[in-house]
């Protein structure tokens, strides 16, 4: 079959996989190929057991796969065949050398740029999909054109704003699609080609264009603003606990001001996910390297409050449970960094579990989707850790339940039954404020919400 466009995506992860599946699903006239260096990951994309859990992703992949959506490991062939190449390889925080713990590690991204340069034998539009430091496109252009072989590369920035757990909804009905480019006639033409792809299903007024540096920076700043809201409300949750104010009431009152808005004001044990911390630290690093220490300190505060919130949670547990957790059985309800995903990257549950193990507590972890990733995330943690799918079995015999993830199923559990099966006194630490605290208290639990007075029988 003759396709109208050939599209390649390098990197079959949380961003590349669902994004390309949506393009292929919406545009049967385009051939979309997704490649990855990891053959196991590709095999999973070609199976019924996809490598990531995302509501409705399975249906979309099933419809398009084999029709105009293909997953394989032949990166070279993919580059040669395609007119438009999306790059969505991982850009984790650097763990070594200059900028360790702060800057983005660009090694995977750079390898990919070199590979595109070495394999391309015709004009390519290269689209940065991974979140990258501002000015990365300049480095990409320099690498791509360093062979001086007459092949033209137009680099665009098209950051992905999808959130995990709602990826399909976000891709199908995005608030905005941002495409950044240089202002040269060639780059503007390339930008139009990318606009044309999204215009197949996204209303034109939501496809916004900008200069390439604004586009790169907007992604970092969007995530920084979202995380900042969570740290703001979490910082106030600490004050609520000291003053008998209730964070849910405060958050509702503040959020009803339309200038503030009511979204992303849910207090929690802390934000997680692969993006927020990484992107803020990256922003902080860029600011410092530009000599903007005050700006860097301001944004670094968002991450510091997040760490503080997790540590506060542990200290509250410790003080509530008579200052010792040694030998106590603690059940973590949820391990994913948020509901409706199996992803555990930077999940607050990882540091909470690590700290509980340090206190010599025994851990029982339950989660509907994330147990496999939880085992990997905690493989270095010493101590007794059990992984149990069923929340009733997980809680039985425990001293405390700590809610880490806001899965809907937890609010609907039979807590009378759970209470009967637990060691007394039984505690609930609700790190997401999703349970009915008064009811739990009536059942007999000692209840510690976040940002609300504790309900205890002592």
The catalytic residue positions are: 275
Cβ 209 vs Cβ 191: under 8 Å: yes
Strand, helix or coil for residue 427? strand
The interface region with ligand ADP, picked from 104-112, 235-243, 282-290, 441-449 by CB under 6 A, is 104-112
Residue 13: contacted member of ligand UDX, ligand ADP, none (CB under 5 to 8 Å, by partner type): ligand ADP
Residue 111: contacted member of ligand UDX, ligand ADP, none (CB under 5 to 8 Å, by partner type): ligand ADP
Residue choice 8, 14, 126, 233 for contact with ligand ADP (CB under 6 A): 14
Nearest-approach distance from CB 50 to ligand ADP, in angstroms: 12
Cβ 414 vs Cβ 446: under 8 Å: no
Residue choice 8, 9, 15, 190 for contact with ligand ADP (CB under 6 A): 15
Angle at 111 between CA 106 and CA 112, to 5 degrees: 100
Cα atoms in the 13 Å half-sphere on the side-chain side of 308: 16
Burial bucket for residue 444 (CB in 10 Å: 0-12, 13-18, 19+): middle
Cβ 120 vs Cβ 153: under 8 Å: yes
Measure the CA–CA gap between 255 and 263, rounded to whole angstroms.
7
First to last CA, the chain: 73
212-243 and 247-255 helices cross at what angle (nearest 10)?
140
Report CA Rg, the chain. 24
Residue choice 3, 4, 29, 38 for contact with ligand ADP (CB under 6 A): 38
Residues that bind ligand UDX (CB under 6 A): 160-164, 223, 226, 230, 264-266, 268, 271-273, 275-276, 337-338
* Residue (32 or 230) nearer to ligand UDX, CB: 230
Residue 351: contacted member of ligand UDX, ligand ADP, none (CB under 5 to 8 Å, by partner type): none
Tell me which residue of 113, 128, 111 sits closest to 212, measured CA to CA.
Answer: 128
Binding to ligand ADP by CB under 6 A, coded x per residue (else -) over 50-89, reads -------------------------x------------xx
Per rule CB under 6 A, count of chain residues that contact ligand ADP: 20
Q: Which of positions 116-145 make contact with ligand ADP (CB under 6 A)?
A: 130
The interface region with ligand ADP, picked from 33-41, 371-379, 410-418, 427-435 by CB under 6 A, is 33-41
Binding to ligand ADP by CB under 6 A, coded x per residue (else -) over 258-277, reads ----------------x---
Cβ 434 vs Cβ 411: under 8 Å: yes
**Which residues contact ligand ADP by CB under 6 A?**
10-16, 36-38, 41, 75, 88-90, 108, 111-112, 130, 274
């Amino acid at each position: 079959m003759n396709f109208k466009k050939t599209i390649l995506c390098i990197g079959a992860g949380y961003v590349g996989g669902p994004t390309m599946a949506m393009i292929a699903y919406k545009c049967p006239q385009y051939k979309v190929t997704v490649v990855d260096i990891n053959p196991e990951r590709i095999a999973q994309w070609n199976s019924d057991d996809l490598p990531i859990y995302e509501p409705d992703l399975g249906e979309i992949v099933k419809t398009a796969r084999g029709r105009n959506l293909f997953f394989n490991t032949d990166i070279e062939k993919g580059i040669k065949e395609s007119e438009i190449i999306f790059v969505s390889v991982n850009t984790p925080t650097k763990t070594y050398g200059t900028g360790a713990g702060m800057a983005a590690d660009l090694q995977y991204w750079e390898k990919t740029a070199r590979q595109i340069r070495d394999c391309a034998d015709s004009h390519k539009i290269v689209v940065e999909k991974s979140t990258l430091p501002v000015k990365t496109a300049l480095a990409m252009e320099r690498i791509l054109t360093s062979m001086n072989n007459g092949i033209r590369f137009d680099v665009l920035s098209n950051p992905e704003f999808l959130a995990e757990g709602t990826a399909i909804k976000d891709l199908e009905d995005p608030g905005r699609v941002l495409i950044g480019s240089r202002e040269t006639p060639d780059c503007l033409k390339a930008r139009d080609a990318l606009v044309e792809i999204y215009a197949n299903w996204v209303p034109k007024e939501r496809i916004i264009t900008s200069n390439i540096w604004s586009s790169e920076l907007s992604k970092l700043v969007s995530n920084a603003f979202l995380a900042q809201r969570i740290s703001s409300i979490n910082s106030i949750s600490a004050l609520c606990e000291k003053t008998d104010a209730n964070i849910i009431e405060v958050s509702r009152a503040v959020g009803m001001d339309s200038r503030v808005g009511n979204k992303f004001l849910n207090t929690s044990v802390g934000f997680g996910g692969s993006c927020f911390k990484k992107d803020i630290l990256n922003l902080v690093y860029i600011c410092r390297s530009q000599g903007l220490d005050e700006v860097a300190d301001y944004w670094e505060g968002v991450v510091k409050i997040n760490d503080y919130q997790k540590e506060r949670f542990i200290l509250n547990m410790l003080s509530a449970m008579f200052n010792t957790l040694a030998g106590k059985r603690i059940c973590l309800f949820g391990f994913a960094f948020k509901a409706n995903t199996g992803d555990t990257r930077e999940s607050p549950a990882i540091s909470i579990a690590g700290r509980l193990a340090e206190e010599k507590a025994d851990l029982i972890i339950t989660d509907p989707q994330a147990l496999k990733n939880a085992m990997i995330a905690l493989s270095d943690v010493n101590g007794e850790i059990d992984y149990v799918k069923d929340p009733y079995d997980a809680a039985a015999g425990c001293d405390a339940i700590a809610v880490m993830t806001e899965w809907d199923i937890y609010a609907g559990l039979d807590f009378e039954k759970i209470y009967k099966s637990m060691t007394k006194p039984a505690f609930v630490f609700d790190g997401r404020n999703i349970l009915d605290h008064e009811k739990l208290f009536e059942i007999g639990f000692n209840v510690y919400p976040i940002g609300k007075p504790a309900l205890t029988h002592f």
